[in-house]
Copies of this chain bind each other. A is one copy, B any other.
Amino acid sequence: MALLMKTDTDRGPWWRDEFHKALPDLEFRLFPETGSLGDIEFALVWKPPHGFLATLPRLRAIFSLGAGVDHLLDDPRLPARVPVVRLVDVQLTRQMTEYAVMHVLRLHRNGPQYEEQQRRRVWREVPQKQTGERRVGVMGVGEIGGSIARALAGLGFDVAGWSRRPRPLPGVAGFAGREQLPAFLARSEIVVCVLPLTPQTADILDARAFAAMPRGGYVINIGRGRLLVETDLLDALAAGQLAGAVLDVFRKEPLPADSPLWSHPAVTVTPHTAAMTDPRSAVAQVVDNIRLIRAGQAPLNAIDPRAGY
């Protein structure tokens, strides 16, 4: 009985060591060295080739190597009877929260303006809003977005959350559903997007969304690249409707070298590193779920395939 892992990174051996320490009787295989497909009970994967998981006759669970599962659900031959499990990793949530807090603070505290002044050797105070006057909106308030909204509210920001269905959070103004999206956007000077990618959320950050925001606002996208229409973003920046953007995810990754986003003075680009799955904290969760499944129980954090997250 074996676990097959597929990662886009070169950290497979690190994962192998962590699994060996946690569950020595589990055979660990690293894609594409699959060995006999009939031995594979568990798959821990990032972007498996379409149709591949359907070739594993004894598969008992599919673990996503990340919080999002869109890279699995877009496989038309995904085995319907096998549970798909997301990673709900405290370190991953912490890193996403750090990234969001860091960039919200930089924009709130006029970081771009002060960086430009430093280049020109200008010593001048930039008018500063109080924290409680700064309206931040978090799109997606599940495990990760909820942590971000709580952290920002704890720092004193005026925070709202938007989600498909109402999800009340203490100290956070709640908006839900498509009909409340314009009101949510209209009050949010800085929008942090951590939505899952589903047919309902694809392209949600488009020209219409940017136009609904206060003029001179900022967008931080750390969900998935296909949530945001990059050409609409560039137009909104050119028109001054948006003052800037922070992007960790892109429609095509790696971001192509000829993308205008790389050199745009108002855009911060990071290479999908807002959070990096860490074997030391993630293996324990996969191992716990393997033990549950072996004991005939349902795994934790299995997704609802109809909702898409």
Say whether A284 faces chain B, with CB atoms less than 8 Å apart: no
For A94, list chain B residues within 8 Å (CB): 131, 156
Say whether A231 faces chain B, with CB atoms less than 8 Å apart: no
Q: Flag if B91 contacts A99 (CB, 8 Å).
A: no
Taking CB atoms and an 8 Å cut-off, the chain A residues in 244-300 that contact chain B are: 253-255, 257, 262-263, 268-271, 273, 276, 278, 280
For A276, list chain B residues within 8 Å (CB): 125, 128
Q: Could you tell me the distance in whole angstroms from the C-beta of A292 to the nearest C-beta in chain B?
A: 26
Q: Flag if B109 contacts A271 (CB, 8 Å).
A: no
Q: Could you tell me the distance in whole angstroms from the C-beta of A19 to the nearest C-beta in chain B?
A: 19
Query: CA A226 – CA B87 in complex, angstroms?
Result: 49
Say whether A102 faces chain B, with CB atoms less than 8 Å apart: yes
Q: Flag if B125 contacts A273 (CB, 8 Å).
A: yes
Q: Which of B9, B131, B263 contacts A125 (CB 8 A)?
A: B9
Q: Flag if B121 contacts A262 (CB, 8 Å).
A: yes
Q: Flag if B118 contacts A268 (CB, 8 Å).
A: yes
Q: Flag if A98 contacts B109 (CB, 8 Å).
A: yes
Query: CA A257 – CA B117 in complex, angstroms?
Result: 12
26 contacts between A and B (CB under 8 A): A9-B125, A94-B131, A94-B156, A95-B128, A95-B131, A98-B109, A98-B131, A98-B155, A99-B109, A101-B101, A102-B105, A102-B106, A114-B271, A114-B273, A115-B268, A117-B271, A118-B268, A121-B263, A122-B271, A123-B254, A123-B255, A124-B271, A125-B271, A125-B273, A128-B273, A130-B280
Starting from the known contacts A102-B102, A115-B268, A118-B268, 5 additional A-B residue pairs (CB-CB under 8 Å) come to A98-B155, A102-B105, A102-B111, A106-B106, A118-B262
For A106, list chain B residues within 8 Å (CB): 102, 106
- 1/0 per position for A108-137, CB-CB distance to B under 8 A? 110100110110011111101011000000
Q: Could you tell me the distance in whole angstroms from the C-beta of A220 to the nearest C-beta in chain B?
A: 14
- The interface size bin for chain A is 35 or more
Q: Could you tell me the distance in whole angstroms from the C-beta of A128 to the nearest C-beta in chain B?
A: 6
How many monomers of this chain does the complex have? 2
For A109, list chain B residues within 8 Å (CB): 98-99, 102
Q: Could you tell me the distance in whole angstroms from the C-beta of A188 to the nearest C-beta in chain B?
A: 19
Q: Could you tell me the distance in whole angstroms from the C-beta of A18 to the nearest C-beta in chain B?
A: 14
Q: A101-B101, A121-B262 are in contact. Are A91 and B268 (CB under 8 A)?
A: no
For A108, list chain B residues within 8 Å (CB): 98
Query: CA A114 – CA B255 in complex, angstroms?
Result: 14
Q: Flag if B125 contacts A91 (CB, 8 Å).
A: no
Q: Flag if A123 contacts B91 (CB, 8 Å).
A: no
Kindly list the 5 A-B residue pairs having the minimum CB-CB distance in the complex, ordered from nearest.
Answer: A123-B254, A102-B105, A123-B271, A121-B262, A118-B269
